[in-house]
Amino acid sequence: MTIRTLIWGENVHEQVNRTVAEIYPEGMHNQIAKLLAADDNLSIKTTTLQEPEHGLTEKALEETDVLIWWGHRAHGDVADETVERVAKRVWEGMGLIVLHSGHFSKIFKRLMGSPCALHWREAGERERLWVVNPGHPIAKGLPAYFELENEEMYGEPFSVPEPLETIFVSWFQGGEVFRSGLTYRKGAGNVFYFRPGHETYPTYHDETVGLVLRNAVNWAYNSNRYPEITTAPNVPVEKAIEPITARGGSLHEAGEEGFR
């Protein structure tokens, strides 16, 4: 089994911020790719905001089983038609992993249907991530907790829908807590939000973070696709499972597709 994994990076901070460029000289997306490369089951590609159609063409998404999304500074620059294209693929069964500030991306807000707001503080403080669901596949091989010496704080309340599962809860040196690993099912697609990853800290050089991401890709993978989940086909009377006689008027022609 090969899981076709596409890493989408905004690739803006690396171009304009010296600190970020020093930590991620090849770009954050390429460093994330290095973490994933430890899993031989993953076929890994990267793309960025600057590519035509942001690198998320119909063909690119058709060839993607799991999409990883990192964005922050340029959420508004992502075209709405691209967002809808990605959402459709998630509904059809493509996995989606949203990282750090991607909580405020158009695609995450689109799928969550909520503000996705939170409290934050950039102070390079210690983050302790507690594994509160140790039996979950995303937590496979992890200790009871792990720490990142420097991270941006995210604090509750986090205005997202109640998750399917909570995998991690973070405690920060300043005292706040945050639900840092949440899973959702959107249509046929598995969605995972993972909090760490502020651009001015070397989070994506951390091997434990890499293990979480590799586990998450394997969890998010769905071998079945359901394109019909995004359509509304009409079922003619003569094709009903049980014999029926049509009664009353109809707004639709025989065989017409439409939303009822």
Q: Over the stretch 50-87, which tens digit does the pLDDT of each residue have?
A: 999 999 999 999 999 999 999 999 999 999 999 999 99
Asked, for residue 245, whether it belongs to a domain, the answer is: no
Share the mean pLDDT of the chain: 94
Task: Let me know if residue 253 belongs to a domain.
Answer: no
Q: Which domain holds residue 29?
A: 3-230
Residue 24 domain flag: yes
Below-50 pLDDT ranges, the chain? 259-260
CA atoms of 217 and 121, how far apart (whole Å)? 29
Domain assignment of residue 259, yes or no = no
- Assess if residue 46 is contained within a domain: yes
Domains in the chain, number: 1
Is residue 243 in a domain? Answer: no
pLDDT at 255: 52
Q: Is residue 142 part of a domain?
A: yes
pTM of the model: 0.92
Residue 238 lies in a domain: no
> Residue 220: in which H helix or E strand, if any?
helix 207-220
Q: Can you give the pLDDT at residue 251?
A: 62
In this prediction, residue 260 carries a pLDDT of 45
